[in-house]
A and B are shown apart, each in its own frame.
Chain A
Amino acid sequence: MEDIVPMIGQEMQRISDKYFTTEPLRGYAKSFIREKQAESMRFGLLTVLHYRMFGGDSGPICQAAAAVELFILASDILDDLQDGDAPHQAWSQVPPAAAMQTAASLIVLSQQAMLELEFGQAGLLRVVQMMNGQLLKAANGQMLDLMNAVTDEDSYIAMVRHKSAALIVMACMTGVMLAGREWHPIVAEYAEEVGMAAQIKNDIRDLLRWDDKNDFILRKKTLLTLFLLEEIAEGDEWIKDYFEGRLQAEDVAGRQQMLEEACDRTGAALYGSVRMRMHFNRFQELLDEVPEAALAKDKLLQIFSS
């Protein structure tokens, strides 16, 4: 599968060069795609793998995978601009307005790449409708996350199902449907489960790191921070005070070890780990229910662990 990655990258560059004909848009898009290519193409790989799993063996599937990756790239750029926490990325090193304009252009380019695919028009329309449905679902989740609108565990789960899981569903289902199959509910469900597991894994990491992306410092409501705040133990009141704005960042600077101890003592870290495993275990159970996945199981697990 890894040999597919350069092909997806080349497709992204080809489509970009075709439509972005003037500088500096052409140059920005080229460098952003190059950076994306060097990082990962997991969503595109999911599209190609699912296409093959469900019997697709011809057609320009790399172009579809490129369309998926162009959207993911645009979404990564916007996410980094919103958070302002990825100064090393190529899109953080150009004027923000230019990065934003490039991201918006990449979204349209992604749509154009799909519409130009040489698949039957009726089938293609169904795929594009499905993709847009999932992308709009992700847009709802992204806004909830951006506004830190989560209030409890149920709203957190709903936000992640929208924001993270929908993109993985979109990538997998694009492959399934381009292979000529209908929406596959079990694939959708396992893609959602793995998306949930991945997000909780991020949440554990982002609570225990101690830098600008720390969820505690950012007062982000996640499965773990909600657990931590639910029953504050004696001596841990400072955690709630910080979350509710009675303490400021400078007041809690240097309390990394205290936070780690609180996560251990209260079981917050263990709770995150258990919830993450529950979603991953469910993903594996569902995978076993899809006969088409039998031969591709190792490859699929390899993509998710890369």
Chain B
Amino acid sequence: MLKDAIRTLAASKEKMSMVMGGQLQLAGVSAAEHKALQDALKNQDEKKGNYTLAVWG
């Protein structure tokens, strides 16, 4: 499940790097969720409000 996977990743920088590098597949996470997760991890500035995503808000 996506939420569990994110909680696991938030607790482990190492696992986060592995997902970014494509070395770790997360159980119970769909392909669409995995793609979005990789995109989000590559653009971590988003959490500070600096969005690279082209959508108004």
Contacts and interface: CB of A to CB of B under 8 A. Distances in A.
B40 A270 contact: yes
A265 B54 contact: no
B27 interface: no
A209 B36 contact: no
Interface string A210-237: 0000000000000000010011000000
Interface string B18-55: 00000000000000110111011101001111010111
Interface in A259-306: 263-267, 269-278, 280-282, 301, 304-306
A201 B55 contact: yes
A139 B48 CA distance: 31
16 contacts: A194-B55, A204-B47, A204-B49, A264-B10, A266-B10, A269-B46, A270-B41, A271-B6, A273-B40, A275-B36, A277-B53, A278-B32, A280-B54, A281-B32, A304-B54, A304-B55
A208 B49 contact: yes
In order of increasing CB-CB distance, the 7 nearest A-B pairs are: A267-B10, A305-B54, A201-B57, A269-B47, A277-B36, A273-B40, A267-B6
A202 interface: yes
Interface residues of B, number: 26
B33 A274 contact: yes
A205 B48 CA distance: 8
A222 B54 CA distance: 21
Contacts of A306: 56
Interface of A: 40, 42, 194, 197-199, 201-202, 204-205, 208-209, 227, 230-231, 263-267, 269-278, 280-282, 301, 304-306
A305 B56 contact: yes
A276 B32 CA distance: 12
A201 B51 contact: yes
Contacts of B37: 274
A270 B46 CA distance: 9
B3 A265 contact: no
Contacts of B10: 264-267, 270
A274 B57 contact: no
Nearest to B53: A280
Q: Which of A208, A269, A306 has the most CB of B within 10 A?
A: A269
B55 A197 contact: yes
B7 A280 contact: no
Nearest to A277: B36
A277 B2 CA distance: 13
A42 B56 contact: yes
A304 B53 CA distance: 10
B56 A276 contact: no
A231 B7 contact: yes
Given A230-B3, A276-B53, 12 more contacts: A194-B55, A201-B51, A227-B3, A270-B9, A270-B47, A276-B46, A276-B55, A277-B40, A278-B36, A280-B53, A304-B54, A306-B56
Nearest to A272: B47
A295 to B, nearest CB: 18
Contact of B49 (A209, A275, A282): A209
A228 B37 CA distance: 18
Contacts of B43: 273
